[in-house]
Structure 1
Amino acid sequence: MRRDDGSMSLEMVLVTPLFVIFLLFLAGVGRMVDAQSQVDGAARDAARAASLARSERDAVDMAEKAGDASLKGRNWCTGGPQVKADTYNWRPGGTVKVKVFCDVDLSDMSFIGLPGTKELTGDALAPIDFYTYRGTETADEP
């Protein structure tokens, strides 16, 4: 009998759990990267929709609807997305800025060190076209 008999089995027993944990960690990080990409896309869609509105109030409404529609059916976004449209520069040639917040549920990955939930934020900025701008109504007016 040789002295190194069984050493390969022992190495596999010690290394396999670390390899599995590493793969699970990569899966969790991949999920967060995918979720961030979708939140950024929702912010982009919301900003584009808001930039096409005819009034500031419509821009806020359209941004919320587009952000919600973009993340509709995503069960990882707990409580649904929160969409905030900033129309401080509402004028022809101005810009509209949209932020989308989403709490990502990672509770099934918490045993490998990821937090239970992680808030992701997506930002987007879109120009207001000179030729489609039609109103001066602000979001604060009735």
Structure 2
Amino acid sequence: MMRRAPDRGSMSMEMALVTPLFVVFLMLLAGAGRLVDAQSQVDGAARDAVRSASIARSPEGAVRLAQQAADANLNGRDWCAGGPVVVTDTSQWGPGGRVSVTISCDVDLGDLAFIGLPATKTLRGRALAPIDTFSYRGGDTGEDAQ
């Protein structure tokens, strides 16, 4: 008669060792996916905000329209702790000039901190656009293009 090899239970031992590594790998993928999605949304908000700022009729209006566009884009995003921080640079305002918008957002990763990810990660999106020469009126008229 043939004897069985002494490897009984080796499959259970392999599963006990590999399963936690597999779960950690899946959690890292989830964290990376969340960061990629959040970065995409921050970049899109910056793009929309700079477009809104570029059609404003004054530097003050550009700042206001950029903030409104960023808030509208990122409204209800609970991953953006404290809301977006919008910085609008109108130092080159005028015909042929340009405007830039930088949006910063702190992404909450607290639920994934146990696998080594930081509790929060600051993401930044920046966009640059030329001033729309057809809506530029020079100076502050008190009204903004909508």
TM-score bracket relative to the smaller structure: over 0.9
Q: Quote the residue 1:8 is aligned against.
A: 11
Deviation at 1:8, TM superposition (A): 1.6
Bigger shift: residues 4-13 or 87-96: 4-13
CA distance in 1, matches of 2:69, 2:134: 22
Of the structure 1 ranges 45-54 and 6-15, higher mean CA displacement relative to structure 2 is found in 6-15
Structure 2 residue aligned with 1:88, among 87, 91, 103? 91
CA distance, structure 2, for counterparts of residue 51 and residue 129 of structure 1: 6
Give the unaligned 5+ runs of structure 2: 141-146
What is the aligned partner in structure 1 of residue 117 from structure 2? 114
Mapped to 2, the partners of 1:103 and 1:86 lie a distance apart of: 21
Q: Deviations 1:46-69 (Å, cap 9, x if unpaired)?
A: 100000101111001100111111
- How much does 1:136 deviate? 2.3
What 5-or-longer segments of structure 1 have no aligned partner?
Answer: 138-142
Q: If the length of structure 1 is used for normalisation, what is the TM-score?
A: 0.93
- Number of residue-to-residue matches in the alignment: 137
Look at both structures and tell me which one has the larger radius of gyration over its CA atoms.
2
Give the percent of matched residue pairs that are identical in Structure 1 and Structure 2.
Answer: 64
Pairwise CA RMSD of aligned residues?
0.9
Q: 1: CA distance between counterparts of 2:133 and 2:55?
A: 11
Q: CA deviation at 1:3?
A: 1.7
Please give the residue correspondences for 1:5-84 in structure 2 after superposition, counting only pairs within 5 Å.
Answer: 5-84=8-87
C-alpha distance in structure 1 between counterparts of 2:133 and 2:62, whole Å: 15
CA drift at 1:135: 2.1
Question: 1:62-111: CA deviations, max 9, x gaps?
Answer: 00111111100000101100101000110112110000010111111100
* Superposition misfits of 4+ residues, deviation over 3 angstroms: none
What secondary structure, in the 3-state scheme, does the structure 2 residue paired with 1:12 have? Answer: helix
